[in-house]
Amino acid sequence: MNHDNDCIFCKIVKGELPCVKVFEDSLTLAFMDISPVAPGHVLIIPKGHYPDMLSVPTGQLKAVSRSVQAVAKACGEAFAPDGINVMQANGAAAGQTVFHLHVHVIPRNRGDGLRLHIESGPSAEAAHLEAIAARLRTVFES
Ligand code: AMP
Ligand code: ZN
């Protein structure tokens, strides 16, 4: 698997940086966003390093899409939100800040006041993320 030694998401894949894991399979990893814009904000990444959706091989993009759908379904089951945003940025001008392909799954509720573009909030407590991730993992285990 190709990795970039300077990439924080590659370091998460390799276990060199911690994450609050929600789900993984052979090609993808899903973990809690460290600065959630809403409770239950999850990132899905390919385990290989590809900067964005334009550079990832189609087979791995399919694997990411499969995991995105699984996480979005788990989010619906665990939190019963009014809606779910699936968002992904390519390039700094599009709001991308981490240059390892990732897809945001964000539970939404009527009147939650979130704007449609991605704006990181303050970092959440690890214990808070753990509690939310546990509810999502329950869906995958059932
Ligand atoms: P983007 O602006 O689409 O590139 O989003 C990058 C996302 O990565 C932001 O929502 C950050 O909060 C999130 N992020 C950055 N570092 C970490 C990390 N170590 N663990 C989890 N999420 C992270
Ligand atoms: Zn990477």
Over residues 32-41, the pLDDT tens digits come to 999 999 999 9
Q: CA 74 to CA 65: how far, in whole Å? A: 14
Q: What is the CA radius of gyration of the chain?
A: 14
Domains of the chain by residue range: 8-115
What is the per-residue pLDDT across 19-56, written as a single tens digit (0 to 9) for each? 999 999 999 999 999 999 999 999 999 999 999 999 99
Contact at 8 Å (CB) between 67 and 23? yes
Closest ligand to residue 50's CA:
2
Backbone angles phi, psi at 86, to 5 degrees: -115, 115
Token pair for 4? 């970039």
CATH 3.60.70.12 fits 8-115, yes or no: no
Q: What pTM value is reported for the model?
A: 0.91
Q: Catalytic: 102?
A: yes
CA nearest ligand 1 atom 10, residue: 120
Closest-approaching ligand to the CA atom of 19: 1
Give the full edge-to-edge strand order of the sheet including 83-87: 21-24, 28-32, 42-46, 103-108, 83-87
